[in-house]
Amino acid sequence: MTELTAGDLRELAAYFVESDLKVLHVKAGEVELFLSADATSSPPVASPPVAAAPDAAGPGPPSEASAASSASTPAEAAPASSAADPIAGTDEDLPITASSVGIFYRRPKAEKPPYVEVGSLVDVSTTVGLIEAMKVFTAVPAGVEGVITEVVVENETFVEFGQTLFRVRTAAEGR
């Protein structure tokens, strides 16, 4: 195995939960996974955030009928932004980052629209997505007030803690 896919990571996490292991540390290519049953444990070596390729197979975000849906949606195309677009993102826009490691979902359910799109107004408490880690879904709040200028990470993509998910232009930026 030279690369870990999102499906591989889900399988490893499920194996870890079902096993008696206390620590699981796997590295394949540029992707590294560290799981620990001890909350005070940390990875042996710090490494920069690396995103795995999206995997369209596997469970999606929770549905009304179950905690995990067997239906999944294909990864969406990245939004195009042009120089003439007043909402086009810049490096100066504030990032909304991942609060944990896991699979990022832009939609509450496979059949529902994304929480936010380029041009969406958000405030501090606006939910912009979900992160699934070991079948636990955590809402990602915007944490800032402004307008979404860029979608950086697409649906069903593995994300690392601190990885930029969206960019937001705040009213204070005056653009």
* Domains of the chain: residue spans and CATH: 1-40 (no CATH), 88-170 (2.40.50.100)
Q: What is the pTM of this model?
A: 0.51
Our CA angle for 164, 53, 87, nearest 5°, is 40
Q: Give the separation between CA 146 and CA 131, rounded to whole angstroms.
A: 22
**Distance of alpha carbon 46 from alpha carbon 42, whole angstroms:** 9
Rounded Cα distance, 96 and 141, in Å: 8
Confidence of residue 56 (pLDDT cuts 50, 70, 90): very low
Q: E-assigned strands of the chain?
A: 23-28, 31-36, 94-97, 102-105, 121-122, 127-133, 136-141, 146-151, 157-159, 164-169
DSSP 173: G
DSSP H or E segment with residue 12: helix 6-18
Spatial contact of 47 and 32, defined as CB atoms under 8 Å apart:
yes
Backbone angles phi, psi at 10, to 5 degrees: -60, -45
| Tens digits of residue pLDDT in 73-119 | 333 333 443 344 445 545 578 999 999 999 999 999 989 999 999 99
Contact (CB, 8 A) for 54 and 75: yes
- CA neighbor of 107 nearest in space, from 80, 145, 149, 69: 69
| DSSP assigned state of 82 | -
For residue 6, pLDDT beyond 90:
no
pLDDT score recorded for residue 29: 67
Rounded to the nearest integer, the mean pLDDT of the chain is 72
